[in-house]
Amino acid sequence: MHQTPDGIRITSATPAHGTGGETPPWPVPADRTKLQAMRAKVSRLLERERLRGLAGHWSYDFNRHVALRQLRDRLAAQ
C-alpha cells in the first residue's frame, strides 16, 4: 500500500494467481471514498488545464491535458 502526498491510500492492482486478468497500469484506491476523492481531484486538475489552454497560457501542456483526460476516463470506469 502507498500513500500519496494528499493522503490518498492506494494499493497495487495485481490479480490473484491463475485469474488470467490483466494488471491495470494505474493504482487502485483502497476504498470508495478515496476513489471519489481521486475522481474529484483529477476532474479539477483537468478543468484547470483546459482553462489554461483556452486562455493561451504559456504553461499549458497538451500532453498533460491528454494524460489527465485518460486518467479521468479510467477512474470513471472503476
Residue 14: the pLDDT is: 47
Model confidence band, residue 17 (pLDDT cutoffs 50, 70, 90): very low
Instruction: Give per-residue pLDDT as tens, 27-58.
Output: 665 688 888 999 999 999 999 999 999 999 99
Checking if the pLDDT of 76 tops 80, the result is yes
Alpha carbon distances (Å) from 65 to 31, 33, 60, 72 = 26, 25, 8, 11
Give the pTM.
0.61
